[in-house]
Amino acid sequence: MGRKTSMTMTQKILARAAGLDRVEPGQLIEAKLDLVLGNDITAPVAIREFAKIGSGRVFNKDKIALVPDHFSPNKDIKAAEQCKVLRCFACEHDITNYFELGEMGIEHALLPEKGLVGPGDVIIGADSHTCTYGALGAFSTGVGSTDMAAGMATGTAWFKVPAAMRFVLTGAPRAWVSGKDVILHIIGKIGVDGALYRSMEYFGDGLKSLTVDDRLCMANMAIEAGAKNGIFPVDAKTLAFLKSVGHPGGTVFKADKYAVYEQTIMIDLASLEPTVSFPHLPSNTRLARESGSVTIDQVVIGSCTNGRLSDLVTAAKVLAGRKVKKGLRCIVIPATQKIWLEAMKKGLFKQFVEAGAVVSTPTCGPCLGGHMGILAKGERAVATTNRNFVGRMGHPESEVYLASPAVAAASALTGRITDPSEVM
């Protein structure tokens, strides 16, 4: 295959979904959708727009997922009304993948866990972190509520084919360095618009050192670099994960040898250290070991970025047998009901509570300034979330510092931003 006909992984997925032999960056296409996702903030708007379209029924009740996770359990009357809109729509259209309180979780952790996303899929979601599923070889991206409405009605969406950037990972990360540190390093390096409307595609022998959870975290934060999507090649780890959640495997695409990338960035994983993003941009990164002068009031361990079981295990390892600094709030939020139950069975809750932390039911909660940990004026939080814009977690004059579960847990012990190697 020559250079003129070569395509990236993302481009191949989009070409197949559009029924075309090939696509080029900048080309406008109409692609068939494998899944349409909405939550309790965005889906009610989409549902109202869906009614205006007048199509009557959704295109496929099995290919729509509705997850009330942002303000659920309902924090107030408005939140309750939002969730009721989802509930009624799901009932009216017999939506298969509607996950209510008691069986739900944070959407971008829940859908992979349910085996609903996988290689070759084209997925849209009315949530910017829908790009998470690229970790499993899918093209997934966030859209507006109107696009979600059209997707539910027609099963298709229009896309401009993105150009691509290649990230070649080598080596293996040292202790306490996770996928969160890798993606924070990348965003710090290229900036919050460094991958604007591009596909962030990962390669290199360093991939074998990254778990599926690492990859989910990194794909999740592709949007924080401005990317259209992030995507990883499908390997043995991917296939093992898909098998464990009952996914049939999907269609695996590989980038062509001569695929064109606008930029190639080399990253030696062994050179990375625990990293923190300072307010008020994910790109404002510094090493954790150089950030110890920043004192904090709260730590949040959870979210669609870092609320998986491996994240909780890491945090518990740091907190076990130690105490959260007096006067500091440490909130742990498992991302799904399944993760919550597994963490409880492993005894992690006992370690968290004995350390002085609290454990929440699955929810997005404080990540977007919703509930379960809002910051007052002048307060600072270290959070394993994905965004630290002004007022993101509460008062406009509060501050959020993004970090890995290991850094967050270590910081909870000292009351200041702390490299985990300092306390372990």
DSSP 287-345: EGGG-TT-B-SEEEE-HHHH-SHHHHHHHHHHHTT--PPTT-EEEE--SBHHHHHHHHH
Strand ranges inside 204-277, DSSP E: 229-231, 263-268, 275-277
pLDDT band at 181 (very low <50, low <70, confident <90, very high): very high
Question: Quick one: which of 149, 103, 88 has its CA closest to 124?
Answer: 149
Q: How far is CA 236 from CA 113, 199, 212, 232, 401, in A?
A: 17, 23, 10, 12, 34
312-332 residue pLDDT tens: 999 999 999 999 999 999 999
Residues 6+ apart with CB under 8 A from 185: 267, 272, 275, 285
Q: What percent of the chain has pLDDT over 70?
A: 99
Q: Could you give all domains of the chain from N- to C-terminal order, each with its CATH number?
A: 9-267 (3.30.499.10), 275-418 (3.30.499.10)
Mean pLDDT for 328-351 is 97
Residue 55's pLDDT is 75
Beta bridge partners of 30: 158
What is the per-residue pLDDT for 120?
96
86 pLDDT exceeds 60?
yes
To the nearest whole number, what is the mean pLDDT of the chain? 95
- pLDDT surpasses 70 at 36: yes
The per-residue pLDDT for 3 is: 60
Residue % of the chain over a pLDDT of 90: 94
Residue type, 283: S
Question: Over 90: is that where the pLDDT of 256 sits?
Answer: yes
pLDDT, tens digit, 9 for 90 and up, residues 185-203: 999 999 999 999 999 999 9
Mean pLDDT of 118-134: 96
Give mean pLDDT, residues 94-99. 96
- Residue closest to 252 by CA, chosen among 77, 121, 127: 121
Question: What pLDDT sits at residue 4?
Answer: 63
pLDDT in tens, 269-309: 999 999 999 999 999 999 999 998 899 999 999 999 999 99
